Every structure is written in C-alpha cells, then in structure tokens.
Amino acid sequence: MARILVYNVGSNRMETYNRGENDPMPYSYGRTLLVKEFRGSSRSNTLWTNTAAMESWNATRRSWGQGIYVGYAFKRIWEGGHGQQSQHYAGVSFDVGQNLGSTCRRWLHNLAQSLGVWVYVEPLSMTPSWVHFDKRTNPPACSAGYPLQRVGSAGTYVLVLQDALNALGYRAGSLDGYFGQNTRTAVVNYQRRNGLSADGIVGCATWRRLVSEVVGIGRTPGVVD
C-alpha cells in the first residue's frame, strides 16, 4: 500500500491517499495510470505529485487514445537515477513510450508538444528511445532547475526539499509539503554549515549545493516516510 501525497494546485492544499499498486493514481483518467506505473523503479512507500501534472497526463492520454507505456515517473531524490534537479523527484515528470518504434514515438512527442499542456517536452535528439514531458514550475532558481522556495511555499518542491534535508540529517520534520518554521530552521542550519548565506531561502546556490550532496546517496537514518 502506497501513501500518495497530491498537491492540489487549485486549493493550495496537500492531499493524502492510500492506494494499492494496481489502483489508479489520484486524479488520473480512469485506469490510464496505475500506482505501480507511476512508481516505476522507486522502492519508496511514499510518492507524490500534483494535480497539474495529472491533468496534463489526462489530456495527453485522452488525445493519444490508447495506452501509454510509462518507463519512469517518480523517484525520491536520495534514490537517484536522474539528473541533479530532475523533475522526476518532484513527481511531475514522465519518461514514456519505451515500447514504441521511432515513428510512433515521434507521433507521441509531436502530440505532447502540440497539446500545450506540458511545460517542457524534451527534444527527441536528447531522448533516443523514449519521450520525456514534465509539468515543472517556472521560473527556476537556476537554469532548468527547481524554483525558489521560502517560508509560505507549498507543493512538491517543498517535499523534495524536506526529503533532501532529512536524508542529510537536517531535521525538516514530516513530509507535509509546507515550508514552515521547521523547514526554515533546517535550511538555515544547512546553509550555515555549508558556507552559504543563511537567509532561510532556497535559491540557486542552496539548491545546487543540496542536490549535489543528496542525489543517489540511498536511504539514510534521517529519511522520513
């Protein structure tokens, strides 16, 4: 049974669901995206995404009109497997179509672009055997990275931040997706110990340093589920 956190963009609230591996993801269209498909190779019992990503998935799946094979979607940042500020860690990214031939992959890629529901669709030249699309939040603090986070921020990027801090031993508390005082204290402590401006704001420099230390380090005693 997976615990699934969904940030509702419309209500600015984090919602929690408990679903089996063969159950559909919350907010997904019919049974077009099962929990086990969204999980992919992640071994975490806690997963997250947001309603905007699910709505974009629904629009793409409806327009495609048939099943879309999902090779990779969610991963926790300490599990690694993707780039340092990958949108997969935020639960808003999909690598799909690995079972398709090049012609069908091109059709799917063109569809994802033409719909205009994704923020980023990676060029096919960079994805030789799959199609990548994601619902990242702009503007990024660093080029192609995560957005700035501070007290009052909410959503899946706060979950990534809390997950990273906890994994490195900086106690951000429970994974709730809200940047409150506990998260700020953990950020300030991290910044002080790493020679960064201790302002409690997670901008480009803090994100870069944080992800360089945490991506792919594996589950640590500080990890919270």
Domain ranges, ordered by start, for the chain: 2-74+93-134, 138-225
Q: Is 144 a residue whose pLDDT tops 90? A: no
The CA distance from 133 to 113, in Å, is 9
Helix (H) or strand (E) holding 19: strand 13-19
Distance of CA 51 to the CA centre of its chain: 12
The CA distance from 98 to 94, in Å, is 11
- Residue 104 has what pLDDT? 98
Q: What's the Cα-to-Cα distance from 179 to each of 2, 145, 188, rounded to whole Å?
A: 23, 18, 13
Mean pLDDT of 132-149: 97
Mean pLDDT of 176-200: 98
Helix (H) or strand (E) holding 120: strand 120-121
Neighbours of 67 (CB within 10 A): 12
Taking domain 138-225, whether its CATH number is 3.30.70.890 is answered by: no
